[in-house]
Amino acid sequence: MFGFGKARTHREIDPAELNVMLQQGSVLLVDVREPEEFAAGHIVGAINLPLSGFSPRNVPDAQGRTVVLQCAGGKRSGIALEKCGEAQSAIDTHLAGGIGAWKAAGLPVVTG
């Protein structure tokens, strides 16, 4: 019975690593917070696919980039990663600490 009930391992990246990936254009950043949270402040280049209706099938073609999920603190992006695992999606990475960690690192957000 080895392996049954075992949680899938997810990759966590920190804000500095995500920042480099964004600068290199090697990431498709998906913010799974709700639209009003996204509008109040988000990471430049992020697209909004709220967890409330999240499906890995709705993630646009990453065109060879790494898909990284992100939320406010890491919990909702973790839930979205679980949905990706259940759907056998290749998406397995999220921002540790979410946008809260991004802001704490002094990195910029945009509104609107």
Residue positions annotated with a catalytic role:
71
Q: Supply the DSSP string of 14-71, one letter for each residue.
A: -HHHHHHHHHHT-EEEEE-S-HHHHHH-B-TT-EE--GGG--GGGSPP-TTSEEEEE-
For the four alpha carbons of 32, 20, 67 and 11, in that order, the dihedral sign comes to negative
